[in-house]
Amino acid sequence: MFSCNEKISVRQLQALVILYVFGAGVTVLPRRAAEAAGRDGWFVVILSAALAMLCVYVIASLAAIFPGEGFVDYSSKILSKPIGVLLGLGLFAKIIISSAMELRIFSEIVQQTMLAETPRTVVCALMLGAGVYAALCGYEVRGRIAEILLFITAPLTLVFFLLAAADADFSNLMPVMVFADACELIRGSVTVGMSFTGIELCLLVFPYINASEGGQAAAIRPALVKTAGLIGAAMVMATVIATAKFGAADLREQQWPVLELMDAIEFPGSFIERQDAIVMVFWISSVFAVMNAGIFFSALLLKDIFKKEWRGVYIAVSGALILGLAMLPRSEAQVYEIQKYIFYTFGAAYMIIIPLLIIIAAKLRKSEADVGSSHRGRTGREK
Amino acid sequence: MAALMLLSGCWDKTELENRAYVNTIGIDSTRGRFTVTVEFPRLESKKEKTGERFARAETAETVRAAMRKIDGSSDKKMYYGHTEAIVLGSGLFENEGMFRETMDALLRGREVGRNVIMLSSKVDARTIIESETEDIDCLGTFITDYYGNNPPDKPARDLQGLITGLRAGDSALIPEIRLEGGTYRLGGAAVIKGGRLVGWLDDKRVRGCVWITGGAGTSGGGRGMAVTAGVGDSGENETRGTLDVTGSRREISFYDNNGWPVCEISLDIRGSVEEYAFQSEVPELEAGGICCRGEVRSPAISALGSAFETEIEEDIGAAFDWLTANKADALGFGEIMRKRFYGLYMRYIGNWEEAFANMTLQTNIRVDIASVGAVK
Amino acid sequence: MLISGELDKNIAYLEKTFKDCGDIVKRKFPVGETRRQWVFVIYADNMTDRAELEVNIINSLMISVRYVEPSVEELAGNVFEGLRDGGISSADITETAEMDDVVFAVLSGNTPLLLDGYKKALIISTRKYPTRGVQATDTEVVIQGSKEAFTEVMRMNTALIRRRIRDPNLKIRQLRVGRRSQTDVALVYMEGIVRPQVLGEALKRIERINIDAILDSGYIEQLIEGNWLSPLPQAQVTERPDKSAAAVLEGRIVIIVDNSPFVLIIPATFNTFFQAVEDYYQRWGIMSMLRCLRYTAGVLSVTLPGLYLSATLYHPSMLPTVLIYKLVESRMPVPFPAAIEVLIMDAAFELLREAGVRLPGPIGNTIGIVGGLIIGQAAVEAGLASPIVVIVIALTGICGFAIPHVSLVTGFRLMKYLILIMAAALGLYGFCLASIIILIHMASLKSFGIPYMFPFVSGEVNNYGDFKDTLFRVPLFMMKRRPIFAKPDNVVRQK
């Protein structure tokens, strides 16, 4: 706080993760859950949440081994420099592409609900402009903004969900778990896990957390796991309410269930007739968080790879790339295809496979180093 | 300068007064094409008389084409965000394809909110909307106010409810609106199955439906309803009364009987009777013997209670019989069975229609007259 | 330049320095019975206390000293010390050997005394400025509480604070800023409570100032603030001694500038601008409600025109049907697009506000009423604006007035335009984006090391204790710890 704008506290990290993952994932989550398991979609979401918590645990364990180090740095250390750089580039590509797809979907939604005739480029460019501004200000500002936005939007969202629940027919969830087919549920949980994308960004944050050096892992790991749990709980709640309100059949066919949910709420007193525009406020903030994170972390990766302090340049490049890629797909269906592809390749890789690899390699290296040093120690005494 | 340019017009900006705020939409089918009627209020800064409204109708191949035609015929942009009611003409129900297409048009386009009230009419929706009535601002507003201010024995059905019902059992109930003597009247309902009209329910049957479903979709099932019944032979010896329902509890269960399902409906109704005509003066009541909760002391009151029970049973029976006779599961019996009696449901899943047609009803109705008002 | 031993040389130098200064008075006179020791006084007319000068200095030296042992002749050789210790009955005397100090003393209202044959001068404090005395506050009026306000004399201001904190740890560090004005600037703080980094930073920034003259505390505020591009103020400005004393007790620093009745309080966070001094003098229930109201007013004063425009131009579905019909009817006779209409009325309102500030007393009030009522009404009748826009703009202005600190409101007035333009161009999307941009900006501000949006961000640094005084104010007995401004090891103020 009294330092320069580069370190954030664990609390702010939690706020950032919540805003990113929940905002990016929740809009289509109920539909994916309904597609995977119909009425029992909520159970699938619970399974995915568990998976996400596991991934986060693995990722945060890296903090114990490499406190305060950037991703490219520690992967270079363990897996040799070229591979480290390659991994960094891969993550860079993943972040850019998924941010671009997210932006594209968002602009589609804005076009359909709020601004029918404004060119998509303008919508995207303005959102990216805000993201660039925030990224330029530094990590600490990002953390603070996340705290403020969460402070404003979380109670609102909670109220909306509760209002929706008041009106929902929970018998739509019955009969519960009658068709439970374990394989299908597990397969479904991986598909639904797509909605938890964003967790792999935690690989990059270790140098920027303001916890005491030794206590970094001790502070980060439980906090992140708790956050993943919280997000999971919120997603489950959203799925349950959406299923209750619309029924699994209708839910499967809705493009953006959460949006429809917000639209279908009856405000007591009914001062406001249709409130889908107001709900967009929440969503604009979370997409902003996503864009912001995308630009910031991709610029960070570029800095780690090229080792030069051209912050403005990196941010401009990332922003331009994201804008360009967002304009490319021809239709929304294509966007979802791309997202699925990216998730099954890069996403899964960075969420769990690569962290595991790094941990295993680190443990191997450490045991080698132990043997080596004890050997040297003996020879030293002999001399 | 840049600000001025931005402010004078961007891509999406529409000034308030350049929109026409559609209040009611009516959809009919005319010789295989759609006729859409829209109604919007006339808004002027200096109004000579209030309550003026415009109605425009256009015919085209699809619903959306008709809407665009209407838009084209007016100097203002049609805005559907404030639409309150949609009236479906009976012609739509003749043709399954047309009905489904209408539903599709309403759903996919997001201009109309899902809270709009759906109504059906025996005549063309256009006639209903274009009619000149007094004291009414706009039909849509009238309808929403009506449902807001009146007791629930006339159920409201909104677009979301209609869609849920259709998806669940392909059968739905759409309340009816009629023109009678220069004013609008809401009562009765159309029953749709598979996109086609099966028939019309009268007020009594609609009441029965309300008893079965426990109210107009929201909590307080049955509260505010009223039952009128009489005991004894009509004429001078009759004891009549009206029960004002204050609360009710409904339970539906199913069981099997010789291969066909039986639906058992139990209703526990509580209410008060505040107007009655007695054959003779009843001494207990005069002496201040007000009935306490749950305990009816006077034989006349208990007789009245039984009369109410019979009346309700008849209503329910009428509705049920009609629905089963026409094989239209508009109230969602199948859904209820599927949700709570899954094992039983699986038995009939192959031929639910037949099972429904042969479903029998068993009712247990209990009316509890909690108060008879203040003592004279 | 050193003082010369010869009085005439010194006098010649002073005459040259103060050539063409009509308000500088010089007097050369002998002391002692034999009248052989020459003494010279020089002072600025009307900046000194003539009575004290004549009684304590001239009378003492000329007359009284002749009747007191030892006489001037006996002191020969030690006249300087003798007169200093026995001849002048003033309470505040300093010695100096520098001519610059003598010149500065004259310009400050003090009276230097030069003796023939000695290379030192005595500077006697005889300051008495024309001043208006302690008066009631104009800008921060309270119903229950002290009505005193700071004045232009720095010494009186420090006295007003000192009176309220009778603690020897209350330190008043004085500096002189401004090459030609040599304005006295005092930093008032509590040793042991203030954070040393903040104090160090403040001193560093003030010492870095290199300017001709400091005419008002506003100059200091602008020269030491961290982010000059921001429309939001980073230091509080106040006229009230009790508020300054409270701030000092919290660990903040009060900067008093001579010739300015407004003092600066640093560091300042966003929350401090919503705290009015009366909040702590009345009971917590009503004051909490007023605090919430103030926050709401603050938010509305920035967002209301933008919300109105985005709702009516892009999302009429947000408003109830009946309201829409009324709005449409009222907008029909207006020829301008809604956004231009809002801007016109807003410009008119700002003009009225500016005009009302400049006009003297009664006319200013009348213009306010006339402008508000009649011009607003006339505009509606002429068809230049619809009534709802007049209400929206008026409400925005009133919400601005509800915020205790004017400097924050001026910042809001600027930010309101950004939101207005974005909302007019892109509806609720533009409104949200503009709000996010403003929030980013506020989140990036720091006031002397403390985040501007504290405690809404990083609240856990102080265990969220600061929340006890933000949107609402908890009862006094619950406010046991000092806010973030205080040094972390000295936070308990109440047990």
- Is 70 exceeded by the pLDDT of residue B362? yes
C-alpha distances (whole Å) from A162 to each of A166, A248, A317, B218 are: 6, 20, 42, 16
Residue C469 near residue C479, CB atoms below 8 Å:
yes
Tell me what the mean pLDDT of segment B88-108 comes to.
Answer: 84
Inter-chain contact C321–B113, Cβ cutoff 8 Å? no
Rounded CA-CA distance B285/B289 in Å is 5
Chain B CB contacts of C340 under 8 Å are 4, 7-8
Pick the CATH number of A10-69+82-340 from 1.20.1740.10, 1.50.10.10, 1.10.10.10, 3.40.50.80: 1.20.1740.10
Where residue A381 falls among pLDDT bands split at 50, 70, 90?
Answer: very low
A residues 122-141 closer than 8 Å to B (CB): 122
Spatial neighbors of A262 by CB under 8 A, at least 6 apart, are: A160, A164, A275, A276, A279
pLDDT of residue A372: 56
Surface-to-core class of residue C194, CB atoms within 10 Å of its CB (0-12 exposed, 13-18 middle, 19+ buried): buried
Inter-chain contact A274–B81, Cβ cutoff 8 Å? yes
Spatial neighbors of C433 by CB under 8 A, at least 6 apart, are: A126, A127, A130, A284, A288, C422, C426
Angle at CA of residue C270, ends C265 and C276, nearest 5°: 65
Predicted-complex ipTM score: 0.86
Inter-chain contact A114–C428, Cβ cutoff 8 Å? yes
Inter-chain contact B12–A117, Cβ cutoff 8 Å? yes
Chain A CB contacts of B332 under 8 Å are none
Rounded CA-CA distance C144/B9 in Å is 51
In chain C, what percentage of residues exceed pLDDT 70?
Answer: 99
Residue B330 near residue B172, CB atoms below 8 Å:
yes
Size of interface A-C (CB pairs under 8 A): 107
Q: Which residue has the higher pLDDT, C199 or A31?
A: C199
In chain C, what percentage of residues exceed pLDDT 90?
Answer: 31
Tell me what the mean pLDDT of segment B86-94 comes to.
Answer: 86
Where residue B113 falls among pLDDT bands split at 50, 70, 90?
Answer: confident
Rounded CA-CA distance C312/C335 in Å is 16
- For chain A, what is the mean pLDDT? 79
Q: Which residue has the higher pLDDT, C64 or B28?
A: B28
Can you tell me whether residue B128 is helix, strand or coil? helix
C127-174 tens-digit pLDDT: 888 888 888 888 888 888 888 899 999 989 999 999 999 999 999 999
- Is 80 exceeded by the pLDDT of residue C52? yes
Rounded CA-CA distance B34/B125 in Å is 11
Where residue C70 falls among pLDDT bands split at 50, 70, 90?
Answer: confident
Rounded CA-CA distance A239/A243 in Å is 6
- Is 90 exceeded by the pLDDT of residue C253? yes
Among candidates C456, C448, C432, C229, which has minimal Cα distance to A137?
A: C229
Q: Which chain A residue has its CA at the smallest distance from B159's CA?
A: A264
Pairing state of beta strands C24-31 and C37-44? antiparallel
Q: Tell me the nearest-neighbour CA distance from B20 into chain C, angstroms.
A: 10
What are the structure tokens assigned to C266, written together? 């640093």
Q: Which residue has the higher pLDDT, C74 or A143?
A: A143
pLDDT of residue A276: 66
A250-300 tens-digit pLDDT: 788 777 787 777 777 766 665 555 666 667 787 888 889 888 888 988 888
Where residue B115 falls among pLDDT bands split at 50, 70, 90?
Answer: confident
Where residue A379 falls among pLDDT bands split at 50, 70, 90?
Answer: very low
Angle at CA of residue A372, ends A370 and A376, nearest 5°: 115
pLDDT of residue B229: 72
Q: Which residue has the higher pLDDT, C72 or B255?
A: B255
Rounded CA-CA distance C397/C404 in Å is 14
Rounded CA-CA distance A159/A165 in Å is 10
pLDDT of residue B232: 60
- For chain C, what is the mean pLDDT? 87
Q: Tell me the nearest-neighbour CA distance from C305 into chain B, angstroms.
A: 13
Inter-chain contact A280–C449, Cβ cutoff 8 Å? no
For an interface test with B, the pick among A108, A171, A262 (most B C-beta atoms closer than 10 Å) comes out as A171
pLDDT of residue B237: 54
- Is 70 exceeded by the pLDDT of residue A213? no
B321-359 tens-digit pLDDT: 888 888 888 888 888 888 788 778 888 877 888 888 888
Rounded CA-CA distance B139/B41 in Å is 10
- Is 80 exceeded by the pLDDT of residue B266? yes
- Is 70 exceeded by the pLDDT of residue B371? yes
Inter-chain contact A277–C315, Cβ cutoff 8 Å? yes
pLDDT of residue B222: 55
Q: Tell me the nearest-neighbour CA distance from B142 into chain A, angstroms.
A: 16
Tell me what the mean pLDDT of segment A207-213 comes to.
Answer: 66
Amino acid at B234: S
Rounded CA-CA distance B23/B38 in Å is 7
Amino acid at B188: G
**CB contact A108 to C (< 8 Å):** no
Rounded CA-CA distance A29/A194 in Å is 9
Where residue B219 falls among pLDDT bands split at 50, 70, 90?
Answer: very low
Rounded CA-CA distance C21/B330 in Å is 104
**CB contact A6 to C (< 8 Å):** no
Tell me what the mean pLDDT of segment B290-301 comes to.
Answer: 55
Size of interface B-C (CB pairs under 8 A): 78
Q: Tell me the nearest-neighbour CA distance from C317 into chain A, angstroms.
A: 5
What are the structure tokens assigned to A357, written together? 């690899």
pLDDT of residue C166: 92
- Partner-chain residue, chosen from B4, B8, B17, that has the shortest CB–CB distance to C328: B17
pLDDT of residue C203: 93
Q: What is the H or E stretch that residue A382 is in? A: helix A354-382
Question: What are the backbone angles phi and psi of residue C121, rounded to the nearest 5°?
Answer: -125, 150
Where residue B5 falls among pLDDT bands split at 50, 70, 90?
Answer: low
pLDDT of residue B217: 32
Spatial neighbors of C88 by CB under 8 A, at least 6 apart, are: C56, C57, C60, C61, C113, C122, C124
pLDDT of residue B301: 72
Least confident of A234-243, C194-203, C379-388, C473-482: C473-482
pLDDT of residue A278: 67
**CB contact B15 to C (< 8 Å):** yes
Rounded CA-CA distance C127/C106 in Å is 10
Pairing state of beta strands B117-121 and B85-89? parallel
Angle at CA of residue A37, ends A32 and A39, nearest 5°: 100
Residue C395 near residue C373, CB atoms below 8 Å:
no
Chain A CB contacts of B10 under 8 Å are 118
- Is 70 exceeded by the pLDDT of residue A160? yes
Rounded CA-CA distance A135/A290 in Å is 11
Residue A49 near residue A209, CB atoms below 8 Å:
no
pLDDT of residue B234: 53
Tell me what the mean pLDDT of segment B183-199 comes to.
Answer: 83
Inter-chain contact B340–A174, Cβ cutoff 8 Å? yes
Residue entry with tokens 């639209």: A263
- For chain B, what is the mean pLDDT? 77
B residues 162-191 closer than 8 Å to A (CB): 163-164, 167-168
- Is 50 exceeded by the pLDDT of residue C18? yes
For an interface test with A, the pick among C439, C445, C453, C471 (most A C-beta atoms closer than 10 Å) comes out as C439
Domains of chain A, by residue range, sit at: 10-69+82-340
Spatial neighbors of B247 by CB under 8 A, at least 6 apart, are: B220, B222, B223, B269, B270, B271
- Is 80 exceeded by the pLDDT of residue C175? yes
Chain A CB contacts of C450 under 8 Å are 1-2
Pairing state of beta strands C111-115 and C121-124? antiparallel
Tell me what the mean pLDDT of segment A346-350 comes to.
Answer: 74
